[in-house]
Structure 1
Amino acid sequence: MLRLIATSLCLRCQCVTTLPFRVRTCATLSSAENQQTVEALYDLSVDIQKVRKLNGWVLHQSPAYTKEVADLLKDMGASGSIIAQILSVHPEAVLCPPEQMQAQRELWMSVCSKQKDLVGIIEKFPASFFTSSSHHDNQRNNIAYFQSLNLNKRIITKLMASAPQSFSRPVEQNEVMVRTLQQAYLELGGEEANMKIWLQKLLSQNPYVLLKPPEVLRQNLLFLRDKGFSTAELLHLLSKLRGFVTELNPDSMRRTLAYSQDTIGCTEAELRDIILDCPALLYYPDVILAERFKGLLSAGISMSQIIETPTVLELTTQIVNYRIQRLRMHGYDVRTGSLEALNGTKKDFEISCGKLKLRRERPLFNPVAPLKGDD
């Protein structure tokens, strides 16, 4: 029996108060636009029309710190175009007081080795940096906690950027979920010596796993065990699927497994083998799977080919059809060949096509043909 912590966290109570809503309650809202803000944004080449359309309320706020934000970013090495881009997509940044911005800068630099890297993070996740000062203590405590786990600073930075809610909430909530994940890993046969690397990979691939109730993890693992997956196989799924066990539920997995088994026409044991080859199969609703099976079969691909390479079901029908056409142009017929040619990232697929093209265009050398010489 899995002895997992069954504490359930209520996500409704974990809502993060983002900067825009906090500002609305404590800053002055005028019926007219703050012309100083508008002019300062114009001077920075910010797309004012975009701001008016998506975040027009920001232009009515006072005070605003447009120059201070630009100076801070410039001091960290941001170019004028990057500053304009950041303020175009997240104009709320101009409502962040200078002392708050400086505190955030110091906090992030405790886990970010270079200011250039921090600028890159702010460019992609501006809302994670320009956040409410009320979360500062929680952020600091969470950073200290993850550092105590000896996690790579790059992983901590990625968590802060892509899942800021997990750093804005009390550290105790993250401690509960991390302990649950660690306990599950060990009880499923994982080695303690490898646990840190495993946890880093899991959090890197799915930062939002921290925001899920630990009880979901327990329920999903118990469901899959009841379906016949061994302890070692459960560890494989837990490691392979980027924390899927906190994003699914028994009902959705039950429907997916039932549909897949009926469509493929296999036994439960055979289906488990297919799932282990393609764990992502558990993700997709039966409606999506029906479309993908139909697309593959109508392209002349047999069910036996799909069973041999189930990962092809991870691709949309549109991508599959496009790749089949590209391969056919280079003389490769997926109906008689391996479906592995369809798999991989876009870059991997283009490399494969390039190899097929070279193979097709390269002249064959005939060792018995006479050599051409000068007459």
Structure 2
Amino acid sequence: MLRLVATSLCLRCLPVPALSPHIRQCGTTRPAENQQTVDTFYDLAVDIQKVRKLKGWVLHQHPAYAKEVAHLLRDMGASGPVIANVLVVHPEAVLCNPEEMEAQRELWTSVCPNRKELVGIIEKFPASFFTSASHHQNQRNNITYFHSLNLNKRIITKLMASAPQSFSRPVEQNQVMVDTLQRFYIELGGEKNNMKIWLQKLLSQNPFVLLKSPDVLRQNLLFLKDRGFTTAELLHLLSKLRGFVTELNPDSMNQTLLYSQEMMGCSENQLREIVLKCPALLYYPKHILSDRFEGLLRAGISVSQIMDTPTVLELTTQIVNYRLQKLRAHGYDARTGSLEVLNGTKRTLSRAMAN
């Protein structure tokens, strides 16, 4: 038994053979960078260190088409700094093959023929332009559909740039949401002659409304109807919120309305009037509203003033305090005057101080 124990101990003490350098490296080996991509980036004055830090994996891909991307953009009128900026922000562009890039150029110029404008869009939204060929047919179908709605090309271009997901998916999904919006617009008393303009404004302000569920829109409007808003008032809210009503839900709106009513001590009718003056009030969660109400009250603003000009609640506490100080320095006391000045733009504020 002693021999067995001794043998066992000896075996445990035997040195473990070291792994060969080749075996040790296999687990952490990374493909070498694509030297052609790296060299092209250097030639184009691309901040390659920033690319390595944020999206270094792109530099290891084969094949890559950095020269082709630069040629395409240069041919469209892009300057060297613009090309470099596009490749820093979206280096994945080099993974699109030349056929895909040409197909995208043809597609985008069909809605934005102005090359200078198109280059500006690509610089701002490169990921929307350099996309997979698998989406091209959906993009074409969606362009055709939105043309059929008589939307102008500028609106369609904005949708493609800022909400590319809506153009990459089947056209039928967008059609369902647009049909829902148009139906509610008519049911709430909107004039058919103005529907195109209304829809253009809504999609321009919130392109992502197309990606929302029609059921969400329906539930939110039903909730507001149950709170006493008339059809005309619902149309006003839907128009003022410009599709952002789909970002809300009945629970959050209910909490916001209950808190606002408690803080202002107002009736249901007064609360509805306040919301109609300031539809954005529906968005803010309780903790944000609490901070803004308390900031205004600490500054000496009365509840009645807030009720008269509820849009002041759209301003952060920091902005309110800054503007109050500026006005006070010029002899205007917001505590005894109108909050319209406080709530206005910088130009309005400057005009008030000048007077």
TM-score by length of 2: 0.90
1:295–1:167: structure 2 CA closer, same or farther, 3 Å change rule? same
Once the two structures are TM-superposed, the CA of residue 178 in structure 1 deviates from its matched residue by: 0.3
Greater gyration radius: 2
Could you tell me which amino acid in structure 2 is paired with residue 213 of structure 1?
S
Shift of 1:354: 3.3
User: How many residues are aligned here?
Assistant: 327
1:353–1:237 distance in 2 versus 1, CA, 3 Å = closer
Residue number in structure 2 paired with 1:138: 138
Secondary structure of the 1:337 match is: coil
Alignment-derived partner of residue 241 in structure 2: 241
**Per residue, is there more helix in 1 or in 2?**
2
Within-5 A mapping of 1:1-375: 31-344=31-344, 348-349=345-346, 351-359=347-355
Deviation, 1:352, is 2.8
Mapped to 1, the partners of 2:279 and 2:351 lie a distance apart of: 29
Give yes or no for contact 1:237–1:279 (8 Å, CA) kept in 2. yes
Cα distance, 1:32 vs. partner? 1.1
Cα offset, 1:357, TM superposition: 4.6
Alignment-mate amino acid for residue 191 of structure 2: E
Q: Secondary structure at the match of 2:119?
A: helix
SS in 2 for 1:78: coil
Percentage of pairs with the same residue: 76
Q: Which amino acid aligns with 2:101?
A: M
3-state DSSP of counterpart to 1:64: coil
TM superposition shift of 1:39: 1.1
Deviation at residue 319 of structure 1 after TM alignment = 1.2
Of the structure 1 ranges 166-175 and 237-246, higher mean CA displacement relative to structure 2 is found in: 237-246
Q: CA deviation at 1:169?
A: 0.1
Superposed CA RMSD in Å reads 1.2
The answer to whether the 8 Å contact 2:278/2:310 transfers is: yes
Q: Which has the higher contact order (CA 8 A, sep 6+)?
A: 1
Q: 1:369 maps to which residue?
A: none
Unaligned runs of 5+ in 2: 1-28
* Inter-CA distance 315–51: structure 2 relative to 1 (3 Å threshold): same
Q: Work out the CA distance in 2 between the residues paired with 1:203 and 1:171.
A: 16
| Gaps in structure 1 of 5+ consecutive residues | 1-28, 360-375
TM-score when normalising by structure 1: 0.86
Describe the superposition over 1:50-99 as per-residue Cα deviations: whole angstroms up to 9, x where unpaired: 10111000000011111110111111111111111111111001111111
Q: Which amino acid aligns with 1:354?
A: S
